[in-house]
Structure 1
Amino acid sequence: MRTLYHHPLCPFSRLVRVVLGEKKLEFEARIEKFWEARPEFVALNPSSEVPVLVEDNGVVLADAIAIAEYLNEIHRELPLLPADPALRAEARRLVGWFCHKFYNEVTDNLVGQKVFRRLGSHHSEPDSTRIRLAFSLIRAHLDYIGWLTERRSWLAGAAFSLADISAAVQLSCLDFIGDVPWDEHPAAKDWYARVKSRPSFRPLLADHLPGLPPPRHYADLDF
């Protein structure tokens, strides 16, 4: 069986987990404390970053977007990118937006500071400046999600796609630590509720970390 090395609060690991779920592919999930740079894991991915997917035939894949594109090409049923080239380019643009811009501006400054900085080898205190910056930026991103969903059925167009997964997994990590101002952004909240209700997303809602319980609404489909 294929094996996925991941961390429950890594948005990129979550992206691959959802793609595997959408494709209905079985896998063994192994939690990896990537900050420890375990030699056996570094041998799989020299950057010591999750996720890493090891296929049944021994093929080793790293980088969430690369893995997602690979799975979408190999398993063509339930495609997660549009067939039309222009729409496919738009979906990929949004994947880049959420996996790079949103992650760098918001997720890394909240989850990275509040969770992974404490879990890391130095156990350092979070940087309050970076946390304040993330809170000042997240609202613009939620407004953008609302703007998109008011004009489209899903973020990239008429069909659920990798763009929706890329955005939702970032928000799911933030929601786990209770840092999404949902009440101020009803359009984004409605869209996220639709993603949250998909069977592929359910395993994420069951995630728990010792000493870090999610808020009550986290697993509530009607939050």
Structure 2
Amino acid sequence: MVPFLGMPKFPLMNTHSTPRLYHVALSPFCRKVRLVLAEKRIDVELVEERWWEPGSEILRRNPAGKIPVLRLDGRLWAESQAIVEYLDEAYPNPPLMPLTPTERHEVRRLCAWFDDKFNTEVTRPILSERVWKKVMNAGYPDSRLVKSGLRAVKDHMDYLGHLLEHRKWLAGNMLTLADFTAAAHLSCLDYISDVDWDRSAALRDWYATIKSRPAFRNLLVDQVPGFAPAPHYAQLDF
């Protein structure tokens, strides 16, 4: 039997050190945390973590080997959903989770929808093939995977458009973590012009509204070497 070594311990930091986010620009999970930090008006230093390159210290910062990792409040925090829920509890203004258990469940359900289902069917295959293979020098894109992702995004957009025809925001009548999670994924695809915003007027209007928030400004100036953003990417009115 392998002995149980206990939970991995994240290093404690100087509580006065500058908040820092280890990230990559076109990761939806990193973008979700960046959006919530900005909405909470928490200034952080952004440090690109090229985790695929030799010499990366990602395993020292997060034993799971995943980004983002946030240095804040004297320690390192990992897992994007756990991070944003911590931020909403530790920095409650403005609140990004509703009050009732039923409403909070809906927020978490939609966050999981994007981070699991949408990511598996849409974000990962499209970005992996069209962007990350080139960045990592990992070969040529598989057009079958890209086409599969582009087909799948249509069904997701129809579902989100249906929700927004009956709600002000994705999870209800207030801006929540669900909206920032969705916007993080969609903004990555929009950077490479892989979202047909004409498919749903409700979804397009929702995205235009959230893209106009001050929290979105830093995302709109992101640049990925070798990949210029779509011409409309930084335009608030598309």
Q: Which SS does the other structure have where 2:52 is aligned?
A: helix
Q: Secondary structure at the match of 2:98?
A: coil
The correspondence of residues 55-134 of structure 1 with structure 2, limited to 5 A, is: 55-57=72-74, 59-120=75-136, 122-134=137-149
What pairs with 1:1-223 in structure 2 (closer than 5 Å)? 1-36=18-53, 38-57=55-74, 59-120=75-136, 122-223=137-238
2:89 aligns to what SS in structure 1?
Answer: helix
Whether the aligned pair in 1 keeps the contact of 2:29 and 2:68 (CA below 8 Å) is yes
* Cα separation, 1, equivalents of 2:205 and 2:54: 39
1: CA distance, partners of 2:157 / 2:104: 22
The unaligned stretches of length 5 or more in structure 1 are none
- Distance in 2, Cα, partners of 1:117 & 1:10: 14
Superposition CA RMSD, Å: 1.1
Change (3 A) 1:37 1:10: farther
2:23–2:46 Cα contact (<8 Å) kept? yes
SS of residue in 2 equivalent to 1:76 = coil
- The structure number with the bigger radius of gyration is 2
Higher helix share: 1
Per-residue CA shift, 1:33-75, capped at 9, x if unaligned?
1222634222011232210001241x11111101101111111
In structure 2, what is the Cα distance between the partners aligned to 1:154 and 1:38?
Answer: 42
Distance in 1 between the 2:89 and 2:53 partners?
32
Q: Distance in 1 between matches of 2:53 and 2:89?
A: 32
The structure-2 alpha-carbon separation of the partners of 1:69 and 1:38, relative to structure 1 and needing over 3 Å to count, comes to farther
User: Does structure 2 conserve the Cα–Cα contact (< 8 Å) formed by 1:52 and 1:61?
Assistant: yes
Conserved? CA contact 1:72–1:79, under 8 Å: yes
CA distance in 2, matches of 1:34, 1:8: 13
Partner of 2:12: none
Cα separation, 1, equivalents of 2:138 and 2:148:
21
SS of the residue corresponding to residue 82 of structure 1 reads coil
